[in-house]
Chain A
Amino acid sequence: MSILILAEHDNKTIKSATLNTIGAASQIGGDIHVLVAGANCDAVAQEAAQIAGVTKVIKADAASLEHPIAENIAPILVDLASNYSHILAPATTFGKNILPRAAALLDTQQISDIIAVESADTFKRPVYAGNAIATVKSSDAIKLITVRGTTFDAAATSGGSASVEDYSAPETTGLTTFVKAELSVSERPELTAAKIVVSGGRGVGSEENFAIIEKLADKLGAAIGASRAAVDAGYVPNDYQVGQTGKIVAPDLYIAIGISGAIQHLAGMKGSKTIVAINKDEDAPIFAIADYGLVADLFDAVPELTDKL
């Protein structure tokens, strides 16, 4: 049995969710190979070769692969698929975009967002925003799976010594061309990998007021998250959204500020180790799952907390 991992990277370094995906693969068992598809991505291939448990890196290096366009990457997966029992990708916007395209071309029913490996063909996955957990068994010859990073340990970034093999990518389809990206730049830790996350909701009230959240986050070395309502209102960019249809986080400490606790939000953060809620409404549903609740006006409590830390 061999497992192929589709690596997420920016042509410079591997994204951390890839390491958790490799962690899931090691629970399935078998040889682990990593596909690095990109442009001038040799550094990434070398990095992948060092990851503990990886035995082979396949490098598809071509100008047309500079951006992870599904139409160009899915055919590579399809071409390589016959060598593998499983193909895994992180359940990030990268993996979610590409893997189903490959799955359909392989006539395979993908298993999305697994949170546990029961055996080589049976997996647990959340449905209904995590309000139910389904155990599903696949009858497909090759299993295509996306992996929820927060529920699998990351593979160690050193200890491996895999070979790197070149793969020449097929001509692109020309269906899709990259125009531009507007990426958030931040000195703060990456949201899905941070040890502490401070999140603000509609209660924060405005983009300017979000400075209160930022100050607390900076004091704690935390990443910043948000509810959908805060994103919709334009307080913060879309990539801050935590929840069922945003990012899944599971830090050691999650501080929800001015967030009511809708099920769609809880779906993205209830795996956190310790949850703190600061909300002026003592009946807010978030308090039902918070380890420590503080009923207070955030405009008083949060600056005080920042000062006293």
Chain B
Amino acid sequence: MKILVPIKRVVDFNVKIHVKSDGSGIDLANVKMSINPFDEIAVEEAIRLKESGKASEIIIVTIGPEKAQEQIRSAMAMGADRGILVKTDAPIDLGGVEPLAVAKTLKALVEKEKPDLVIMGKQSIDDDSSQTGQMLAALLGWAQGTFASKLEINDGKIHVTREIDGGLETLELASPAIITTDLRLNEPRYAKLPDIMKAKKKQLDVIESSELGVDYTPRLEIITVNEPPVRKGGIKVDNVDALIDKLKNEAKVI
């Protein structure tokens, strides 16, 4: 079984971002960039399937700037076999290429690489869209198992447990399928130094986005980006009695 894992280069989840004062975007100067955390979970899940003998090859793909090769190398250091960068010049401060165009690009790669499974994140933590996996599944006419907290593959049968608002749901998916990861699926490993060195020699192909025939013209025009209204901190109360008094007599919420 061949697994394709789309990953995205995003601002690290620990960074407090700053909106540019002219409202044109987010300031990315000297900001730490990482693999989108949900995609790290996807890479880990693919590696575990390989370690258990169920998968044979793991291909990482990203659509993004030249520098996104760093994130592909990180995924290969974790244990993925090879990588593909579809290079675009689109600015990435507001999420980069839109989900629909990413899905179309991934579809082109799926048709070329013919994976049996695609595992990807449920959400990018920059644009917070939560769309791409569902869109790719639609374009391919494949089954989708989104927000997965458990994935079991036995005799070609895929069982996916999904985190839904009411609790958990388990679905059986026809193969091939798209899985999107939720936080509880696994805990990604840290790459070891020798593996980081080895990853430098793994195959990483760079494709120009223009080669795939996808239209990257944005459908959504960003009119402006603003800081949200700041929520001011209030006061500290000395004890429980004072808290109850404030809630009853000042905030009037109990």
B128/A129 in contact, CB under 8 A? yes
Question: B135 is contacted by which of A93, A100, A178, A245 (Cβ under 8 Å)?
Answer: A100
* Complex interface: stretch among A38-46, A52-60, A159-167, A289-297: A289-297
A293/B223 in contact, CB under 8 A? no
A308 CA / B237 CA spacing, docked (Å):
16
Question: B251 is contacted by which of A101, A104, A232, A274 (Cβ under 8 Å)?
Answer: A274
Best-buried of A126, A127, A295, A301 by chain B (most CB within 10 Å)? A127
* Complex interface: stretch among B76-84, B166-174, B205-213: B166-174
Known contacts A101-B134, A104-B138, A134-B222; A308/B241 CB under 8 A: yes
* Complex interface: stretch among A24-32, A179-187, A200-208: A179-187
A150 CA / B34 CA spacing, docked (Å):
31
Known contacts A108-B100, A127-B127; A231/B220 CB under 8 A: no
**Chain A residues whose C-beta falls within 8 Å of the C-beta of B16 in the assembled complex:** 131, 263
A239/B94 in contact, CB under 8 A? no
Interface 1/0 per residue, B12-31 and A, CB below 8 Å: 01001101000000100000
Q: Counting CB contacts under 8 A, is A260 at the interface?
A: no
A88 CA / B241 CA spacing, docked (Å):
46
Known contacts A104-B103, A184-B166, A228-B183; A273/B253 CB under 8 A: yes
CB of A88, distance to nearest CB on chain B (Å)? 15
- Secondary structure at the B interface, as helix, strand, loop or mixed, is mixed
B228/A103 in contact, CB under 8 A? no
A134 CA / B129 CA spacing, docked (Å):
12
A253/B253 in contact, CB under 8 A? yes
Question: B164 is contacted by which of A126, A239, A287, A296 (Cβ under 8 Å)?
Answer: A239
Question: A179 is contacted by which of B126, B136, B159 (Cβ under 8 Å)?
Answer: B159
CB of A278, distance to nearest CB on chain B (Å)? 8
CB of A120, distance to nearest CB on chain B (Å)? 14
A244/B128 in contact, CB under 8 A? yes
Interface 1/0 per residue, B133-146 and A, CB below 8 Å: 11111110111111
Which chain B residues numbered 179 to 233 have a C-beta less than 8 Å away from chain A?
Answer: 182-184, 218-228, 231-233
Interface 1/0 per residue, B243-254 and A, CB below 8 Å: 110110001011
Known contacts A113-B128, A273-B253; A131/B17 CB under 8 A: yes
Question: B142 is contacted by which of A102, A175, A237 (Cβ under 8 Å)?
Answer: A175
Q: Counting CB contacts under 8 A, is A188 at the interface?
A: no
B172/A238 in contact, CB under 8 A? no
A133 CA / B220 CA spacing, docked (Å):
14
**Chain B residues whose C-beta falls within 8 Å of the C-beta of A287 in the assembled complex:** 233, 236
Known contacts A181-B168, A220-B254, A274-B251; A140/B235 CB under 8 A: no
B129/A252 in contact, CB under 8 A? no
Known contacts A132-B17, A244-B128; A305/B135 CB under 8 A: no
Q: Counting CB contacts under 8 A, is B122 at the interface?
A: yes
A293/B254 in contact, CB under 8 A? no
A128/B126 in contact, CB under 8 A? yes
**Chain A residues whose C-beta falls within 8 Å of the C-beta of B232 in the assembled complex:** 289
Q: Counting CB contacts under 8 A, is B130 at the interface?
A: yes
**Chain B residues whose C-beta falls within 8 Å of the C-beta of A231 in the assembled complex:** 183-184
A179/B172 in contact, CB under 8 A? yes
**Chain B residues whose C-beta falls within 8 Å of the C-beta of A83 in the assembled complex:** none
Known contacts A175-B174, A253-B254; A136/B223 CB under 8 A: yes
A253/B251 in contact, CB under 8 A? yes
**Chain A residues whose C-beta falls within 8 Å of the C-beta of B227 in the assembled complex:** 131-133
A184 CA / B164 CA spacing, docked (Å):
10
A176/B143 in contact, CB under 8 A? yes
A240 CA / B179 CA spacing, docked (Å):
23
Interface 1/0 per residue, A108-142 and B, CB below 8 Å: 11111100000000100011111111111111100
A304/B240 in contact, CB under 8 A? yes
Best-buried of A70, A92, A96, A113 by chain B (most CB within 10 Å)? A96
Question: B222 is contacted by which of A136, A181, A184, A253 (Cβ under 8 Å)?
Answer: A136
Known A112-B130, A291-B234; further 15 A-B contacts with Cβ < 8 A: A71-B144, A94-B164, A110-B100, A127-B94, A132-B227, A133-B225, A140-B219, A176-B171, A176-B174, A183-B168, A196-B253, A244-B125, A253-B247, A292-B251, A294-B239
A-B contact pairs, 23 of them (CB 8 A): A102-B138, A103-B131, A103-B135, A104-B134, A104-B138, A104-B139, A108-B219, A109-B100, A110-B129, A128-B11, A134-B225, A136-B222, A184-B166, A237-B167, A247-B165, A263-B16, A273-B251, A288-B233, A291-B234, A292-B236, A293-B233, A294-B240, A308-B241
* A interface, CB within 8 angstroms of B: 67, 69-71, 74, 92-94, 96-105, 107-113, 122, 126-140, 173-184, 192, 196, 220, 228, 231-232, 237-239, 244-245, 247, 252-253, 263-264, 270, 273-276, 282, 287-296, 301, 304-305, 308-309
* B interface, CB within 8 angstroms of A: 11, 13, 16-17, 19, 26, 38, 94-95, 98-100, 103, 122-123, 125-139, 141-147, 149, 159, 162-174, 177, 182-184, 218-228, 231-237, 239-241, 243-244, 246-247, 251, 253-254
